[in-house]
Chains A and B, each alone.
Chain A
């Protein structure tokens, strides 16, 4: 479904985003139903939130992006976000299907580690989804900004939202993501202070997650202090998410190898 959405997005791109915004929205909506069923089945089989390996974590981030888009897309002018989200979802989905990303479950390896453990992982991945959606809005902003700068007729013909609305959408999604990330880190702290649990600042995952937190904090502060224009903010949101995803797998693999 996400692949079909991506193919239709190319068509919308060529046509200039001025009609049929509901097609990608519907495709991603259908995709989310299957996605949810698959995740629920895996969750029931594991008896915990299905985020125990890279495949599951990537699938969870994708699910968050689609679910977030379906909510944001209720506003008609933001519905074309789907055309920008579906290529990203397709690439993430293909990556998640790479062999060895989803190793067979070893008995005892996925023992239920308590509600706090699942909650902290879920909050972190939900925040990544919000950051992903803000990156999608940033891609939309940069497209529209580029077309307006170059006086392309497509800029005026398209039904993409105005730049200011896209900028506020980006910053709101980043704020939501940052809030979830902060909450996830807080819950993580509580989880690791339980009796019998240990937390190490040397864990690559901990270092990585704190780096991501600082990265987004700086980005939000610069936007709040009007230290940068919309274009730079959009590049910041897009670049941060790409950097985060590219380093996420490395950090996660190092973390899994440690335990």
Chain B
């Protein structure tokens, strides 16, 4: 018996191809049944996310035959280049599963959302009795490996999105985000996300100012804050700690000459300004003022990329853990015949051992 994996992901397929193969969760139970019937797989799990569609299956026959069957099943008459799909068999498929669970195979290395999606996919198969000893053991081990990697390495350290970097920066300046006031100038998507991220971390007061007052009111209502007319935002400045600016203005909304006297009103409290507008809303010289910390979109993206580099440096450490865990799994399967779940009895250790042995 052998575990095989056939799939496509963001590296092998563009979004227009991935969307052709994406599956809704409600379709999965029926598809699992059809898949097992059509390919002869004894166990199967289908994982479908925005970045990947993968099938993990077990066969008692030749893995090559199952791979061929899975490919036909996935294509279902569609025509795509061969290199869109990747095929993994035996230990390679288990290693791939561990990497997916740990976020090593994700677009944003180390992201954790995939683990939840993988657990959900596994639960669907488990609930419909499409998994037994082999996939149960492999998936449970994959979840354990993901947990170990999360706790023992820095693969998930840091923020890799503009909004979360802004929140992290605020945490480096302010003792606590509670009692902090945030002003959103220009009601764009990214500024809304950043404001929401700050609110979720405890920021108390949000003011929204926009050229269109109606839009400011709508966003303020959504965020639980207050709208301020665009020509009067300066009057609120004394109480503001964080400014998120993303207007479409072609000139600077805040410049050094305007900000310098306002800083005295704030009694020299620190001020974080996040300028995510292009062209920029804030004059760069503002950063030369004492107690003012200005970050534009490039600065935030540079930090996010540095975090990604840091995560990539951790990949080797994670792969070492994955290899070690694979060997441990093999060893335990060779020495213990106890199934991973009571209801899964019936699969011998040698079966699973064969599943993780290279074909």
Contacts and interface: CB of A to CB of B under 8 A. Distances in A.
Interface string B286-312: 010011010100010011001000100
Interface in B194-226: none
B173 A168 contact: no
Interface of B: 158, 165, 168-169, 171-175, 267-268, 270, 287, 290-291, 293, 295, 299, 302-303, 306, 310
Nearest to B298: A151
A164 B268 contact: no
14 contacts: A144-B172, A148-B169, A148-B293, A153-B303, A156-B158, A156-B168, A160-B172, A162-B174, A163-B172, A164-B270, A165-B175, A228-B268, A229-B268, A232-B290
A230 B172 contact: no
Contacts of B293: 148-149
Contact of B158 (A149, A157, A164, A226): A157
A155 interface: yes
A35 interface: no
Q: Which 4 A-B pairs have the closest CB atoms?
A: A229-B268, A226-B267, A164-B175, A229-B291
Nearest to B172: A162
Contacts of B295: 151
Contacts of A151: 295, 299, 302-303
A18 B283 CA distance: 32
Contacts, number: 53
A156 B174 CA distance: 13
A157 B172 CA distance: 10
A155 B270 CA distance: 16
Interface string A199-220: 0000000000000000000000
A148 B293 CA distance: 7
Given A144-B172, A164-B270, A229-B291, 16 more contacts: A149-B287, A151-B295, A155-B172, A156-B165, A156-B168, A156-B303, A162-B175, A163-B173, A164-B175, A165-B175, A229-B270, A230-B268, A230-B270, A230-B291, A231-B290, A232-B290
Contacts of A160: 172
B109 to A, nearest CB: 17
Nearest to A151: B299
B173 A164 contact: yes
A160 B287 CA distance: 21
Interface of A: 144, 148-149, 151, 153, 155-157, 160, 162-165, 168, 226, 228-232
Contacts of B270: 163-164, 229-230
* Residue of A144, A148, A165 ringed by the most chain B CB atoms within 10 A: A148
B173 A148 contact: yes
B175 A168 contact: yes
B175 A156 contact: no
Contacts of A164: 173-175, 270
Nearest to B288: A149
A158 B279 CA distance: 31
B178 to A, nearest CB: 12
Nearest to B270: A163
A120 to B, nearest CB: 36
Nearest to B175: A164
B303 to A, nearest CB: 6
Contacts of A226: 267-268
B169 A156 contact: yes
Contacts of B165: 156
A165 B176 CA distance: 9
Contacts of B303: 151, 153, 156
Contacts of A153: 302-303, 306
B347 to A, nearest CB: 43
A230 B263 CA distance: 13
A162 B171 contact: yes
A133 B134 CA distance: 60
B314 to A, nearest CB: 13
Contacts of B171: 162
Contacts of A162: 171-175
Contacts of A168: 175
A77 B339 CA distance: 46
B87 to A, nearest CB: 39
Contacts of B291: 229-231
Contacts of B172: 144, 148, 155-156, 160, 162-163
A157 B306 CA distance: 10
A155 B171 CA distance: 11
A229 B172 CA distance: 17
Nearest to B171: A162
Nearest to B263: A229
A150 to B, nearest CB: 9
Nearest to A226: B267
Nearest to A228: B268
A144 B174 CA distance: 12
A19 to B, nearest CB: 9
Nearest to A225: B267
Contacts of A230: 268, 270, 291
